Chain A
Amino acid sequence: MKPAAFDYVRPDSVDEALEVLAASGDEARVLAGGQSLTAMLNMRLANPSVLIDIARIQDLKNISLVDGMIEVGAAVTQAALLAWPDLVKHQPLLAQILPNVGHYQTRQRGTVCGSLAHAEPSAELPLALATLQGEVVVQGKRGRRVLSAADFQTGMMTTDVAADEMITACRFPVADAQSRSLFHEVSQRHGDFALVALAAVSTAQGVRLGVGGVAEIPRIVDLPLLQGEAVEATLNDLAWELDGVDDPHASARYRRELVRRIGKKIINEVSHATS
């Protein structure tokens, strides 16, 4: 379980990092916290010949409010965002979700953007980004692009970031003071990959529900305010539509049941809190 050889580059700025990226083609990978990437390297599931370590770039360590969004730099750890004093006020859903991302030990090195870049189907942060309709800022020598959550994650462990680009920040909208949100996940052990993770946010029209862990990417649905059996029927359709598969951790049937039960619970709680 040792990685193959690679050149290690530690740029001092984003510009330097982009130079190296442009020069290395698709041979390079960007390393921030390394809580997913280094494990992949150890298992030789990834074999880049160049690693570009951005963890010490000062410009990427900021959390700031920009145009109604919380902007999180690419070197900000999950623990740092969780410890941000304004998090509960500005984005309570993220404050609920972050303690479920990995473990105490991995959150202290793992970054928020790194988890998005890894795009693991059961990961909580991609679910948070998609449910909250956040954005990802990517940069390359050719320029800068701001991707919506929907455009960013294109499939299981794949994103729209090109080989010569890197994520420099992600953005989560500041929560509307009236809105309510809830998160619930089921995993075998606290901190393990979620078998099913659900997030719900109240919207002007009803409830937006995000489901992670079942399909290849987080699935987001906007639902009108529903009552009683209508909730159950909608969730049942959704549970089947997600097309989950049996894997060693849980059967597809169990996952469908979790979507129905937890979905109902959090939709009801979020809608009651609003009305």
Chain B
Amino acid sequence: MQRLDAGLRHRVRFLLNGRAVEGDAEPRMLASDFLRQVLGATGTHVGCEHGVCGACTIRIDGKAQRTCLTFAVQLDDCRLETIEGLTDDKGDLNDLQTAFRRLHALQCGFCTPGILMSLDQLLEEEPEADEVRIRDVLSGHICRCTGYQGMVDATLEVMAARRNAAGGEE
């Protein structure tokens, strides 16, 4: 059994976008703050800090989740994917990010990293998802700028393109 004292900082270790990382956190430190303030991974945004807006969403062990409702100490030995992991080594945007840009699925971009991480899971697990399902996933996010239509269009377009690419390779 592990017992971490309230007033002390404790070593936390996990995989971030395929790389082993570690840092120290008090038990009360939110995962979102740990990513941003301890690891300097500021691509994950923080909006409401009580689980409503979805800005802080990342993938933990593959599943899109809110980091403001998770403590850093709960991340021990987990596998995390954040927006920083979507681009390739050269920093080029992936297909979904490119489609977002072209189809105006973002304006200010504050909500975007969280939304991309939710859709990243959806694209991987449900490549045949329809518009209703995409909107269901998007309902866990708040975007103050766009009205969501561009995000739906971008997701559908990427799904079709990935299917074509997969079909073409056979």
Residues on the A chain within 8 Å of B140, using CB: 102-106, 191
Q: Is B127 an interface residue (CB 8 A)?
A: no
Give CA–CA (A198, B21) in the complex, Å.
47
Query: Would you give the 0/1 interface string for A1-32, flagging 1 where the beta carbon is closer than 8 Å to chain B?
Result: 11111111111100010001000000000000
Contact A5 B30 (CB under 8 A): no
Chain A CB within 10 Å, residue with most, of B7, B66, B135: B66
Q: Which residue of B lies closest to A53 (CB)?
A: B74
Contact of B50 among A39, A51, A79 (CB under 8 A): A39
Q: How far is the CA of A12 from the CA of B3 in the complex (A)?
A: 11
CA distance A55 to B70 in the complex (A): 12
- How many angstroms from the CA of A16 to the CA of B3 in the assembled complex? 11
The reply to whether the CB of A234 lies closer than 8 angstroms to some CB of chain B is no
Which of A35, A49, A108 is packed against the most chain B CB atoms within 10 Å? A108
CA separation between A102 and B136, bound complex, in Å? Answer: 11
> Complex Cα distance A4/B7, Å?
11
Instruction: Report yes or no: B27 in contact with A10, Cβ–Cβ below 8 A.
Output: no
For residue B69, CB closer than 8 A to chain A, the reply is yes
Whether A38 and B28, one on each chain, are in contact in the complex, defined by CB atoms closer than 8 angstroms, is no
A42 is an interface residue with CB less than 8 A from chain B: yes
Given A6-B6, A8-B4, A9-B3, do A39 and B28 touch, yes or no (CB 8 Å)? no
Q: Is A34 an interface residue (CB 8 A)?
A: yes
**Which residue, A43, A79, A105, has most C-beta atoms of chain B within 10 A?**
A105
Q: With a CB–CB cut-off of 8 A, which chain A residues contact B137? A: 104
**Known interface pairs A5-B26, A105-B118, A191-B140. Does A43 touch B1 (Cβ–Cβ under 8 Å)?**
no
Contact in complex: B139, A190 (CB < 8 Å): yes
Q: B95 in the interface, Cβ–Cβ < 8 Å?
A: no
Whole-angstrom distance from the CB of A33 to the nearest CB of chain B?
A: 8
| Contact partners of A105 in chain B: CB under 8 A | 54, 57, 64-66, 118, 140
Beyond A53-B74, A108-B63, whether A38 also contacts B4 by CB under 8 A is no
Establish whether residues B27 and A16, one from each chain, have CB atoms under 8 Å apart when the complex forms: no
In whole Å, how far is B129's beta carbon from the nearest beta carbon of chain A?
A: 11
By secondary structure, the A interface counts as: loop
Which residues of chain B are near A264, meaning CB under 8 Å? none
Determine whether the beta carbon of B27 is less than 8 Å from that of A108: no
A142 at the A/B interface (Cβ < 8 Å)?
A: no
**A99 near B: Cβ within 8 Å?**
yes
CB–CB B64/A34 < 8 A: no
Measured in the bound complex, the distance between the Cα atoms of B69 and A39 in whole Å is 6
Nearest CB on B from A249, distance (A)? 14
B64 and A8 within 8 A (CB): no
Within 8 A of B (CB), among A39-96: 39, 41-43, 49, 51, 53, 55, 79
Residues in B with CB closer than 8 Å to A9 are 1-4
Contact A7 B2 (CB under 8 A): no
A residues near B48, Cβ cutoff 8 Å: 1
Chain B interfacial positions (CB closer than 8 Å to A): 1-7, 26-28, 30, 33, 48-51, 54, 57, 60, 63-66, 68-71, 73-74, 118, 122, 135-137, 139-140
Q: List 5 A-B contacts (CB under 8 A).
A: A11-B1, A105-B64, A106-B51, A108-B63, A190-B135
The 5 closest A-B CB pairs, nearest first, are A103-B140, A8-B27, A1-B49, A108-B63, A5-B6
